[in-house]
Amino acid sequence: MGTGESAAPRGSHLSVRTGLIALCAVVIAVLAATLTFIGDRRLASSVVAGVVAFASAFMFFDKIIGD
């Protein structure tokens, strides 16, 4: 076994499907938080809007993206 090689191959912690869903949800959350901040100029409300948008988008994309 050479330098830098491990004895057992490591598996992925996240599937490609989960990564895609999370990426889409993050994009939606950033857009929602940015638009809320532009309209409100309050950081707290934009953070809450981003968190709610992330959770909602994650559930939505989880349902529409097949296994």
Contacts for 65 with CB less than 8 Å, ≥ 6 apart: 17, 20, 21
pLDDT for position 43: 97
Domain around 24 = 16-64
pLDDT for position 12: 82
Is position 46 within any domain?
yes
Is position 10 within any domain?
no
pLDDT for position 6: 62
Is position 45 within any domain?
yes
Is position 24 within any domain?
yes
pTM: 0.81
Q: Which residue has the tokens 């993050």?
A: 26
Task: Report the domain count for the chain.
Answer: 1
